[in-house]
Amino acid sequence: MKIGIVGYKGRMGKEIRDLFEEKSHEFVWGYDKDGEYFQKNPQIIIDFSLPEVFEKTEEYVKKFNVPLIIGTTGLQEEQIEALKALAKEVPVVQSYNFSIGIQLFLKMVDILKDKIDGWDVEIVETHHRFKKDKPSGTAKMIKESLNKDVPISSLRLGNVAGDHVLYMANLGEVLSISHRALSRRAFAEGVLKSAKFVINKKNGYFTFTDVI
Distance CA(67)–CA(86), nearest Å, equals 10
156 annotated as ligand-binding: no
* 143 in Cβ contact with 152 (< 8 Å): yes
140 annotated as ligand-binding: no
209 annotated as ligand-binding: no
Integer-rounded Cα radius of gyration of the chain: 18
115 catalytic? Reply is no
**Strand 163-169 with 68-70, pairing:** unpaired
Length of the chain counted residue by residue: 212
Count H helices and E strands in the chain, helices first: 7, 11
Catalytic residue among 14, 84, 88, 127: 127
- Report which DSSP code applies to 163: E
205 annotated as ligand-binding: no
Residues paired with 30 in a beta bridge: 5, 37
60 annotated as ligand-binding: no
202 catalytic? Reply is no
74 annotated as ligand-binding: no
Catalytic residue among 62, 113, 131, 202: 131
10 annotated as ligand-binding: yes
95 annotated as ligand-binding: yes
Summarize the annotated binding site for NAD(+) as residue ranges.
7-12, 32, 71-73, 95-98
Residues labelled as active-site residues? 127, 131
Summarize the annotated binding site for NADP(+) as residue ranges.
33
Summarize the annotated binding site as residue ranges.
7-12, 32-33, 71-73, 95-98, 128, 137-138
Summarize the annotated binding site for (S)-2,3,4,5-tetrahydrodipicolinate as residue ranges.
128, 137-138
